[in-house]
Structure 1
Amino acid sequence: MADAQSESTAEVRPEDEKLPLWPTIVYGVQHVLTMYGGIIAPPLVMGQAAGLSTSDIGMLITCCLFIGGLATLLQTLGIPFFGSKLPLVQGVSFSGVAMMLAILDDGGGLPRIFGAVIVSSVIGLLLAPFFAVLLRFFPPVVRGVVIVMVGTSLLPVAGGWAMGSDAEAADYGSVANIGLAALSLLLVVVLSKFGSAAVSRLSILISLVVSTAVAAVLGMADFSAVPEGPVFALPQPFVLGPPTFDAPAIISMMILVLVTFTETTADILAVGEVVGTKVDSKRVAAGLRADMLSSAVSPVFNSFTQSAFAQNVGLVAITKVSSRFVVAAGGVVLVVLGAFPVLGRVVAAIPTPVLGGVGIALFGTVAASGIHTLAKADLGDSLNLLLVAISLFFGMLPMVQPEIYAQFPSWFQVIFQSGISSATIMAVVLNVFFHHLGRRSREPFAAE
């Protein structure tokens, strides 16, 4: 009887909560709106760099939405050995764009990238359990650093959105754009403070809708492109040609796989801390396998490497809605957007300054969750304090000095240009050096 009761208690997890249908759908849409700008950016950049036509770029974006939705369903709902069953939204990460552009510059076009993604993802699928074993090297002091960097590394994204996203536009950084971003942020703050529990949880979505309506009245939102193009169109396999397989490209993409492992592990740990649920090496391995399986299938339907989106971790933290089924509903919405391009064009019309305002709240909340995790570590220990100091500043270097690694090889840039992966690597290395190798020095460093 006692065993049955303890088993029943163990099965009750915050992420397994099931909400009524309509709140589930609404909160799911909120997740999609939060990450929409991030998921369409990589195919937009890659399509333009590959010289694709406007219609082909639109097709590329639609495919990324469709596959991102399926990958989200796999990650949140899970099947045996695949999926962390945590509220994580999946999609094409921007962290791999630099490496893919380098492969594109060497010739072979997008089919060469697709082939490299397929092979590297299959190899990554085999390596995932071994990478997950390294979770023992992620104590609170390391996890805290990683989660703080997940939030702070997204600050330039929020800033770019607030300024208007397009640096070549005449109104980039204008008072109007910054004011619109400030409005969306102010709405989040006011609704969180004075709204009912339901309104507070929907503060991001309400802010997006109201701020977009204000932008439309002021002539700052353009919905003219919504009627253009097909209403319904399912992604077709290998529209841009069959994949080609090239050893240097595959090796390059393996570096991206390792970066994806690092960032997804960080996001799994972060959302675990936010939700308040247990995350062990088996769960991390299942999440990484879901990433790699999705990434291996993704190029068949003209998409790229899949990974978790950090900004949605912030949304979970703000709304306190921990249900993975809510995020699964967001995955369904992504699939629908991928099958109905007209809906995607409606969402794409949300002005980026609006996204920038809510992004400040979302990304800052992730960083604050990292600080909360750091509070569990013994920062009175001088070695831990030094670990945090060096790792955070090492991770922030490419943010404040974007050209710091410009003279380094492209594979090095892919790894260390990412604040998340560079801070994570430094934190893990220092943790091993300080706490797992040789005799521990008592007071190598002190801060008053």
Structure 2
Amino acid sequence: MVTSGLQHVAAMYAGVVAVPLVIGAAAGLDTADTTLLMAASLFTAGIATLLQTIGVWKIGARLPFVNGVSFAGVAAMTAIIAAEGGASGLPVIFGAVIVAGLLGFLISPWFCKLVRFFPPVVTGSVITLIGLSLLPVALGWITAGSADAADGASMRNVGLAALTLAVTVLLNRFGRGFLKSVSILLGLVVGTLVAIPLGMADFGGLREADLIGFPTPFHFGAPQFSVAAIVSMCIVMLVIMTESTADIIALGRIVGRPADERTIAAGLRADTLGSAVAPVFNGFAASAFAQNIGLVAMTKVRSRYVVAVAGGIMVLLGLSPVAAALISAVPLPVLGGVGVVLFSTIAVSGVQTLVQADLGKGANSLIVAVTLGVGLAPEMAHGFYGQFPDGLTIILDSGISTGCVLAVALNLLFNRGERAAPAAE
């Protein structure tokens, strides 16, 4: 259970720390404060994951669902920092996230009713889009650190990623029992060990990190409430809720427990409550992590308690900067190697769902084509919506959300609102 939980942490670690790294750089924070943001993000992601998996009252989907820091709010938060001037923008961000999280929590019972508009043609399109949208992230990890990154990944990076991918695939295909279930973790370990003599694994952060460090509440000051920032983050929260709805539906199908309205509402409550609480400990808005859905699909380990263990590990990492620094020593090309198979597995799950949709019927094939084409635009052409107003850019740059809304709208238009069959209780 612990090793399987650690796999989930390893699969999502880079995504969790990426946002605080970007925000820390934009705010001009020093190394110590940036490390604090990273630890806080791990700590709050762990709390949100425990809410999702274990559940309290009507909060938590009770699925093997990992929560982390959402990328959807990066553009909005950097804009707030630019407007406020450096680190003084952080309290404004935290205040806006608190309000947006509470608003999302209140509207979750109504937002979840969208599930009736997700028949297989819509669900399959969105799940496929999730997997394809994440592939550039894995490829970016492989390219990261290359001296000629502008011209592509170095051969050394590609070789390390390919070795990690080969070890992972071979263990998953030919391994038995325990070896098969921890193939991702073992792939990461082998890749990191090979990277050490090549000088590609940096353990320098261990020397500067403290053994224990509790995230100080409101370290950057009491939250401030700016109307413009709140409106911006509320839009972001709607984007996050749309993505989470699609992810809950995808995970429900993968584990054989189709998500009904009640499950989606409970999952959205965990997302939004986690988002509202995170700023207290200097964290950011929480959302579902699709890469971990791919891990569930690949390993077939569907226990929510395994993911709860992952949540506990993240909390401990957030409380122990030195442990977080150890995990961060895994080279990005190694993460990219396992990311390729994880994210592709999600896309394959979407294709399997599309098989049920009868693409020869009516306009179903057209719905899939347009959804994928438009939804992948921000990933295939970065800055595609750069000339649009900031408010629209926040929404459109999330290809998953755009594709999700488009698939639902096209299904309503062309199939006269064909709805999903009710999920079994």
In structure 2, the CA distance between the partners of 1:313 and 1:417, relative to structure 1 (3 Å rule), is: same
2:49 is matched with: 72
One-letter identity of the residue aligned with 1:52 = L
1:17 is matched with: none
In 2, Cα distance between the equivalents of 1:308 and 1:198? 27
The alignment-based identity, stated in percent, is: 52
Secondary structure of 1:94's aligned partner: coil
Q: How large is the Cα RMSD of the aligned pairs?
A: 1.6
- Matched-pair contact (CA < 8 Å) for 1:152–1:363: yes
1:357 is matched with: 337
In structure 2, the CA distance between the partners of 1:191 and 1:426, relative to structure 1 (3 Å rule), is: same
Secondary structure of 2:391's aligned partner: helix
Note if 1:431 corresponds to 2:408: no
One-letter identity of the residue aligned with 1:80 = W
Secondary structure of 1:95's aligned partner: coil
Secondary structure of 1:404's aligned partner: coil
One-letter identity of the residue aligned with 1:160 = G
1:302 is matched with: 282
Q: Deviations over 1:236-259 (max 9, x none)?
A: 100001110011111111111111
**266, 272, 275: which is aligned to 2:246?**
266
In 2, Cα distance between the equivalents of 1:406 and 1:68? 30
What is the Cα deviation at residue 217 of structure 1?
2.0
What is the Cα deviation at residue 278 of structure 1?
2.8
What is the Cα deviation at residue 436 of structure 1?
3.1
- Matched-pair contact (CA < 8 Å) for 1:132–1:282: yes
- Matched-pair contact (CA < 8 Å) for 2:134–2:343: yes
What is the Cα deviation at residue 35 of structure 1?
0.4
Note if 1:39 corresponds to 2:19: no
- Matched-pair contact (CA < 8 Å) for 1:180–1:215: yes
- Matched-pair contact (CA < 8 Å) for 1:75–1:86: yes
In 2, Cα distance between the equivalents of 1:297 and 1:133? 25
In structure 2, the CA distance between the partners of 1:85 and 1:36, relative to structure 1 (3 Å rule), is: same
Secondary structure of 2:218's aligned partner: coil
**What is the correspondence of 1:308-387 to structure 2 with a 5 Å cutoff?**
308-387=288-367
1:7 is matched with: none
In 1, Cα distance between the equivalents of 2:78 and 2:224? 16
1:99 is matched with: 76
What is the Cα deviation at residue 402 of structure 1?
1.6
Secondary structure of 1:83's aligned partner: coil
**88, 112, 121: which is aligned to 2:65?**
88
**What is the correspondence of 1:394-409 to structure 2 with a 5 Å cutoff?**
394-409=374-389
One-letter identity of the residue aligned with 2:49 = T
In 2, Cα distance between the equivalents of 1:103 and 1:384? 41
Q: Deviations over 1:43-80 (max 9, x none)?
A: 01001101111100000100010010011000000011
What is the Cα deviation at residue 91 of structure 1?
1.1
Secondary structure of 1:240's aligned partner: coil
What is the Cα deviation at residue 165 of structure 1?
5.4
- Matched-pair contact (CA < 8 Å) for 1:165–1:172: no
What is the Cα deviation at residue 96 of structure 1?
1.4
One-letter identity of the residue aligned with 1:102 = A
- Matched-pair contact (CA < 8 Å) for 2:272–2:286: yes
- Matched-pair contact (CA < 8 Å) for 2:50–2:308: yes
Note if 1:178 corresponds to 2:147: no
- Matched-pair contact (CA < 8 Å) for 1:233–1:341: yes
2:142 is matched with: 162
2:229 is matched with: 249
In structure 2, the CA distance between the partners of 1:333 and 1:394, relative to structure 1 (3 Å rule), is: same
Secondary structure of 2:94's aligned partner: helix
TM-score (norm: length of structure 1)? 0.90
One-letter identity of the residue aligned with 2:369 = A
**What is the correspondence of 1:113-262 to structure 2 with a 5 Å cutoff?**
113-164=93-144, 173-262=153-242
In 2, Cα distance between the equivalents of 1:70 and 1:143? 28
Q: Deviations over 1:395-429 (max 9, x none)?
A: 11111122221110112111111121111011011
> Which segment is superposed worse, 99-108 or 244-253?
99-108
Note if 1:29 corresponds to 2:9: no
In 1, Cα distance between the equivalents of 2:150 and 2:402? 35
Gaps of 5+ in 1: 1-23, 439-448
In 2, Cα distance between the equivalents of 1:152 and 1:28? 25
Larger radius of gyration between Structure 1 and Structure 2: 1
- Matched-pair contact (CA < 8 Å) for 1:125–1:289: yes
2:28 is matched with: 51
> Which segment is superposed worse, 376-385 or 145-154?
376-385
In 2, Cα distance between the equivalents of 1:60 and 1:50? 12
- Matched-pair contact (CA < 8 Å) for 2:172–2:299: no
In 2, Cα distance between the equivalents of 1:57 and 1:358? 27
Q: Deviations over 1:230-288 (max 9, x none)?
A: 11011110000111001111111111111101111111011111111131011100000
What is the Cα deviation at residue 198 of structure 1?
2.1
Note if 1:62 corresponds to 2:42: no
Secondary structure of 1:106's aligned partner: helix
- Matched-pair contact (CA < 8 Å) for 1:192–1:203: yes
In 2, Cα distance between the equivalents of 1:336 and 1:99? 29
> Which segment is superposed worse, 395-404 or 57-66?
395-404
> Which segment is superposed worse, 194-203 or 364-373?
194-203
- Matched-pair contact (CA < 8 Å) for 1:102–1:410: no
Gaps of 5+ in 2: 419-425
Aligned length: 415
One-letter identity of the residue aligned with 2:164 = S
In structure 2, the CA distance between the partners of 1:169 and 1:401, relative to structure 1 (3 Å rule), is: closer
In 2, Cα distance between the equivalents of 1:328 and 1:67? 13
In structure 2, the CA distance between the partners of 1:198 and 1:63, relative to structure 1 (3 Å rule), is: same
